[in-house]
Chain A
Amino acid sequence: MADEVIYEARGVSKTFGSVTALDAADLKVHACEIIGLVGDNGAGKSTLVKILSGAHQPTSGTLLLDGQERRWDSPADALEAGIETLYQDSGLCPDLSISANVYLGREILRPGLLGKLGLLDHKQMAVKAREGLEQAGIGVAGGSRSVSKLSGGQRQAVAIGRAITWARKLIILDEPTNHLGARQSAEVLHVMKRAKEQGLGVIFISHTLPHVLEATDRIVVLRLGKVIADAPTSTFTPDSLLKVITGLAGT
């Protein structure tokens, strides 16, 4: 396993008014590594994700990409740097088609003058979106269908497929297996492992501890905004992990 650190958060804090959602959290992501980020509801997982992806700015602390200190003013900056994020519950625009969602914010324009006028190349986006989803191991037929017509599992598949299509360094998945059945969850885990084999770093957030224990290389536990454990997955058992999360364990 390559152990070069691609992305790092150092002492990152976030307060919302009087609520401290994140308290001096540290996190390192290596290439070819899946990190499981776990913790109770309200532990600060989604907040950390939003800081890593540029959707929130940290109250204090720094972010380093490839060892360079970086600052994201918006998600667009982090996307540009190769960090793709699947946010909890709100990854897609339901009124747009599948291919429009895959290419959202990265629309392909027509060649020549029409493109300069901002006209979309629907055909090319449809073809490439299907290729991209297939490559990510996700087959969803009918790219011109509106996402609102898809089932929860299909939506999640499209959202993950989009993230994998575009990620160049890191992919962050906030509870991607929520609302999914057993078979679809297994597919998500499989897709994550493929992303890792392609050299990406992956952050996987889930409440389903068996998934976390099965798919990840390292587990980071958040509790009340603090990182209270960060160790290789092999050092945890289902029991010990649960104890750490609920605060019943010493370490």
Chain B
Amino acid sequence: MSTPQADPMTKAGGRSNRIAEIFARQDVILLCVLIVMVAFFTIMNPLFFTSYALANILQDFAPVMLLAIGQTYVILTGGIDLSVGSALGLSGVTCAMTMRSMESGGSPVAATILVGLLVGVLTGLTVGLVNGFLITKAKLAPFIATLATLGAGAGLTLVITEGVQVAGGPTEVITIGNTTYLGVLTLPLILVLLVLGFLWLMLDQSRFGRWTYAVGSNTFAARGAGIPVKRHLVKVYALSGVLAGLAGVYVYFRLGSGSPTSGQGQELNAIAAAVIGGLALTGGSGKLSGTVLGALITTSVLSGLILIGVAPNWQQVVVGALIAGAVALQQVDFAELRKKVTHG
């Protein structure tokens, strides 16, 4: 606890202070960063600012966004989910294998697609539930538990696919995944945006969201207030798993085949989106609006780098640097800094 008497809120605030406050807001800063970045890439390569490139960025954005939403909930509870990339890969191939075998068995297309989707999502859910179980029952630290499922999930994906792409399945899949409306939107992308809207509302307005913040803000106080902390944590990791499953299905619809390596490194992108968006890794503080901007920044950087001719192998290096930079920036106490500047 801090000093008992002083009240930090009653400081007088002039106009310049208010402007400073607006620019101290995380989302405003992020929006500026995004605009500067788009301008930079457009100057370097005008192709960047075309609806074709935008459609591509949005297609890359969707799975990262799904993983990053789950990551946001998890990080808000004070945890981390390293398994999401792995879960994406595993879900993508189980979905693809299900559809392939149903298709060759002569099932109707609609049923094939629905069952495939369900299998993909359930695969993600299973990974999430295993994480929740390891963390709340076996009492493993989230970092270790999800590192274990990252490894196990990636391994399992290679085992069941024998390391090769799962091609085949209904051709309608790739049509649905790539038919664009209004130049940039696809049906799966629209669904992702709906999921985003729903989970945004849930985080900001529902009891589930409130408990998510409370658990990360002070686990002991949350438990003391009667919140079933363990059950809530299991639900949050399950949600992250389901979203990874959806992301796997999304990637399958986009590519038309299940790639055993499609999830590799995706957890990095999701964590980057979340920490660039201002989420505190200690839990309890941050907003989904920040994560959305963080995911946009991450995916535009990746596309932009390719468009200006940077070799794809540099991508993970850049994402790693972004994560380190964003977390380092969080350590800077801007209020303290401003005080130092104004008081000489």
For residue B206, which residues in chain A have a CB less than 8 angstroms away from its CB?
Answer: 117-120
B228-271: which residues lie under 8 A (CB-CB) from chain A?
228
* Cα of A106 to Cα of B223 in the assembled complex, Å: 12
Asked if A151 is an interface residue, CB under 8 A from chain B, the answer is yes
CB distance B2 to A151 under 8 Å? yes
CB distance B213 to A93 under 8 Å? yes
For residue B217, which residues in chain A have a CB less than 8 angstroms away from its CB?
Answer: 93-96
Which residue of A has the minimal Cβ distance to B7?
A: A151
Q: Shortest beta-carbon distance, A51 to chain B, in Å? A: 13
Q: Shortest beta-carbon distance, B283 to chain A, in Å? A: 8
CB distance B221 to A184 under 8 Å? no
* Cα of A181 to Cα of B2 in the assembled complex, Å: 12
Interface mask (A92-120 → B, CB under 8 Å = 1, otherwise 0): 11111000100011110100000001111
* Cα of A83 to Cα of B202 in the assembled complex, Å: 31
CB distance B3 to A152 under 8 Å? yes
CB distance A74 to B214 under 8 Å? no
CB distance B213 to A96 under 8 Å? yes
Interface mask (A114-151 → B, CB under 8 Å = 1, otherwise 0): 00011110000000000000000000001001000111
Total number of B residues with any Cβ neighbor in A under 8 Å: 32
Which residue of B has the minimal Cβ distance to A108?
A: B207
CB distance B284 to A151 under 8 Å? no
Interface mask (B43-78 → A, CB under 8 Å = 1, otherwise 0): 000000000000000000000000000000000000
Asked if A153 is an interface residue, CB under 8 A from chain B, the answer is yes
A183-223: which residues lie under 8 A (CB-CB) from chain B?
184
A47-68: which residues lie under 8 A (CB-CB) from chain B?
53, 55
For residue A89, which residues in chain B have a CB less than 8 angstroms away from its CB?
Answer: 1
* Cα of A48 to Cα of B223 in the assembled complex, Å: 17
* Cα of A156 to Cα of B201 in the assembled complex, Å: 31
Asked if B6 is an interface residue, CB under 8 A from chain A, the answer is yes
Return the contact of A105 from the options B1, B7, B226 (Cβ within 8 A).
Answer: B226
CB distance A75 to B224 under 8 Å? yes
Number of A-B contacts (CB under 8 A): 105
Which residue of B has the minimal Cβ distance to A100?
A: B210
Asked if A180 is an interface residue, CB under 8 A from chain B, the answer is yes
* Cα of A106 to Cα of B227 in the assembled complex, Å: 9
Asked if A243 is an interface residue, CB under 8 A from chain B, the answer is no
**Residue from B4, B224, B285 whose CB has the most chain A CB atoms within 10 Å:** B224
CB distance A152 to B1 under 8 Å? yes
* Cα of A85 to Cα of B223 in the assembled complex, Å: 12
Given contacts A87-B220, A93-B218, contact A106 B5 (CB under 8 A): no
How big is the A interface, by class? 35 or more
For residue B182, which residues in chain A have a CB less than 8 angstroms away from its CB?
Answer: none
CB distance A92 to B210 under 8 Å? no
**Residue from A80, A100, A119 whose CB has the most chain B CB atoms within 10 Å:** A119
* Cα of A95 to Cα of B284 in the assembled complex, Å: 6
Majority-rule SS of A interface residues: loop
Interface mask (B174-208 → A, CB under 8 Å = 1, otherwise 0): 00000000000000000000000000011001111
CB distance A75 to B223 under 8 Å? yes
Given contacts A76-B226, A90-B221, A96-B217, contact A179 B1 (CB under 8 A): yes
* Cα of A120 to Cα of B4 in the assembled complex, Å: 32
* Cα of A117 to Cα of B1 in the assembled complex, Å: 36
B1-58: which residues lie under 8 A (CB-CB) from chain A?
1-9
Asked if A43 is an interface residue, CB under 8 A from chain B, the answer is no
CB distance A74 to B1 under 8 Å? no
CB distance A91 to B207 under 8 Å? no
Q: Shortest beta-carbon distance, B197 to chain A, in Å? A: 14
Asked if A155 is an interface residue, CB under 8 A from chain B, the answer is yes
Interface mask (B99-116 → A, CB under 8 Å = 1, otherwise 0): 000000000000000000
CB distance B221 to A91 under 8 Å? yes
For residue A145, which residues in chain B have a CB less than 8 angstroms away from its CB?
Answer: 9
Asked if B327 is an interface residue, CB under 8 A from chain A, the answer is no
* Cα of A186 to Cα of B297 in the assembled complex, Å: 53
* Cα of A158 to Cα of B206 in the assembled complex, Å: 23
CB distance B221 to A92 under 8 Å? yes
* Cα of A46 to Cα of B217 in the assembled complex, Å: 22
Q: Shortest beta-carbon distance, A84 to chain B, in Å? A: 10
Q: Shortest beta-carbon distance, A137 to chain B, in Å? A: 18
CB distance A120 to B207 under 8 Å? yes
CB distance A93 to B224 under 8 Å? no
A144-173: which residues lie under 8 A (CB-CB) from chain B?
145, 149-156
For residue B7, which residues in chain A have a CB less than 8 angstroms away from its CB?
Answer: 150-151, 154
B86-132: which residues lie under 8 A (CB-CB) from chain A?
none
Asked if B341 is an interface residue, CB under 8 A from chain A, the answer is no
For residue A184, which residues in chain B have a CB less than 8 angstroms away from its CB?
Answer: 4
Q: Shortest beta-carbon distance, B335 to chain A, in Å? A: 12
Q: Shortest beta-carbon distance, B227 to chain A, in Å? A: 5
CB distance A142 to B226 under 8 Å? no
CB distance A94 to B218 under 8 Å? yes
Which residue of B has the minimal Cβ distance to A145?
A: B9
CB distance B224 to A53 under 8 Å? yes
Chain A residues in the interface with B (C-beta under 8 A): 53, 55, 74-76, 79-80, 85, 87, 89-96, 100, 104-107, 109, 117-120, 142, 145, 149-156, 179-181, 184
Q: What are 6 A-B contacts defined by CB distance under 8 Å?
A: A55-B224, A87-B224, A89-B1, A90-B218, A100-B214, A105-B227
Apart from A95-B285, A118-B206, A156-B1, 11 more pairs, CB < 8 Å = A75-B225, A76-B226, A93-B284, A95-B213, A96-B217, A100-B210, A119-B201, A119-B205, A120-B207, A153-B4, A180-B4
